[in-house]
Structure 1
Amino acid sequence: MLNNIRCGTCSALLFKAGQGAIANDIEIKCRRCGTLNHLRPCEPLHDRQERPKRNNSCGSTSP
């Protein structure tokens, strides 16, 4: 299923994209009003592994 990506100012159709099609930041200029639209993926790319969770958040070793 394709999603309509529209201009934030005038709601003109910019393009259609499938789920997960945007892999990085995009700048696209609206052909109707000239607004520069900045788009980014819904979920960030996971370049590194997450840290293991600990019981204490401050790093202190005292009880």
Structure 2
Amino acid sequence: MVNIRCGSCSALLFRARHGAIANDIEIKCRRCGTINHLRPTEPLPDRQERPSRKNSCGSISRK
């Protein structure tokens, strides 16, 4: 678990597992009122990889 803290006053905002943030988050600190902008640590891929075409429909190729 990773502690996510306010950038201004270091108050604990929340705890999360590494890689749990999938998109941008804005969260307001309840202590000082600062709006914190959080981004995922690993960016989403621009395009997804194609699945391999080896028997992708489940059929068995016979020669």
| TM-score normalized with structure 2 length | 0.73
> Which residue of structure 2 lines up, in the alignment, with residue 14 of structure 1?
13
Deviation at 1:22, TM superposition (A): 0.2
Q: Which has the larger radius of gyration?
A: 2
> Which residue of structure 1 lines up, in the alignment, with residue 54 of structure 2?
none
Deviation at 1:43, TM superposition (A): 1.1
The count of aligned residue pairs is: 49
Q: Which runs of 5+ in 2 are unaligned?
A: 50-63
Structure 1 segments, 4+ long, off by >3 Å, are none
The Cα RMSD (Å) is 1.5
Q: Which runs of 5+ in 1 are unaligned?
A: 51-63
Q: Sequence identity, in percent? A: 82
Equivalent AA in structure 2 for residue 19 of structure 1: H
> Which residue of structure 2 lines up, in the alignment, with residue 37 of structure 1?
36
| TM-score normalized with structure 1 length | 0.73
